[in-house]
Amino acid sequence: MSNRVVFLLVPGVHLLDLAGPAQVFGTAGDFGFPYRLDYVAERELVPSAQGLPLQAGTDWPVLDRDDLLVVPGWRVPGEGAADCFPLPLGPGPLEALRAHHEAGGTVASICAGAEALGAAGLLDGRRCTTHHDIQDELARRHPRAQVVRDVLYTTDDRVVTSAGIASGIDLALHLVAGRHGPAVAAQIARDMVVYARRNGHEPQASAMLRHRAHLDDGVHRVQDLIDARFAEPLPLALLAGAARVSERTLTRLFTRATGGLTPLRYQQTLRVERAEHLISHGATVEAAAREVGFDDARMLRRLRSRSAEADS
């Protein structure tokens, strides 16, 4: 899989719309998944909304279908949040967006970047979102788009849009999790000290991310161990040793940090989530149960039923 992210910079680009996702993909390299980050624009010098000029290339790289193409949001410095229309881009970048998606690639936007996708025709008939201040204008300019309000990000047929600013980090972590698994995304979130990651429009999908909203290093070490070996038997004594506390203390600290889960319940949650993924991709319940570490399917069925009851 190609690990390249190309950021299309628009005059007035918001620094955090760019820097947040770039930091996520850059940090992925620290965990064995290096990304090449490229920055392209129509002119080499790109003014930012915050006044810092940015340098970009003007020649587009040859894109592979596995490459990501991201459009950060922008704003005219000194103007209101809605003053990002009309789109300050020529036809060349819009054609590049269309061509990449038509070739099977993924395109993403942060904040006002959704307007670039809309102008390229990529929002027609698809769910999308943007910053709440410009949702009405986006819907007016692109009436065939399904603008979703009060969400952090949406995904629809390799078109990914986010609400903007900090939600660009959520979007990038979501993309990393889809490519390399939620454990890698959780490691990156922890390294960036953004443990409390948020999902787009559904309840938090992965316990690896959902239960990281704490700063207890000992519990994080135990979670790292369980995340990596959740299909194996993991005695409480082994986990307590990783945290360098007693078994009783670990249970108390772990339960408090994760919002009520014991280490065993956390491991079971990971097993069920992985099994659900395998089943959704065609595995039988029996095969999925064995793959995630259960002796047979009975325990998996019991835990799935319990989870369904809790969600109802």
* C-alpha torsion 80→84→88→91, nearest 10: -170
How far from the centroid of its chain's Cα atoms is residue 248's Cα?
35
Between the CA of residue 174 and those of 3, 61, 181, what are the distances in Å? 15, 24, 9
How far from the centroid of its chain's Cα atoms is residue 118's Cα?
21
**Alpha-carbon span 275 to 53, nearest angstrom:** 48
- 111 as an active site residue: the answer is yes
CB 161 within 8 A of CB 97: no
**Range 112-146 burial, b when 16+ CB lie within 10 A, else e:** bbbbbbbbbebbeebbbbbbebbbebbbebbeebe
The one-letter amino acid code at 30 reads D
Q: Exactly one of 8, 111, 172, 303 is catalytic; which is it? A: 111
Those residues whose C-beta lies under 8 Å from the C-beta of residue 43, and which sit 6 or more positions away, are: 11, 56, 58
Residue listed under structure tokens 């900090």: 166
**Range 11-32 burial, b when 16+ CB lie within 10 A, else e:** bbbbebbbbbbbbbbebbeeee
Alpha helix (H) ranges present in 181-262? 182-191, 207-210, 217-229, 236-243, 247-258
**Alpha-carbon span 237 to 224, nearest angstrom:** 16
**Alpha-carbon span 181 to 33, nearest angstrom:** 11
CB 212 within 8 A of CB 190: yes
* C-alpha torsion 167→172→177→179, nearest 10: 150
Catalytic residues: 111
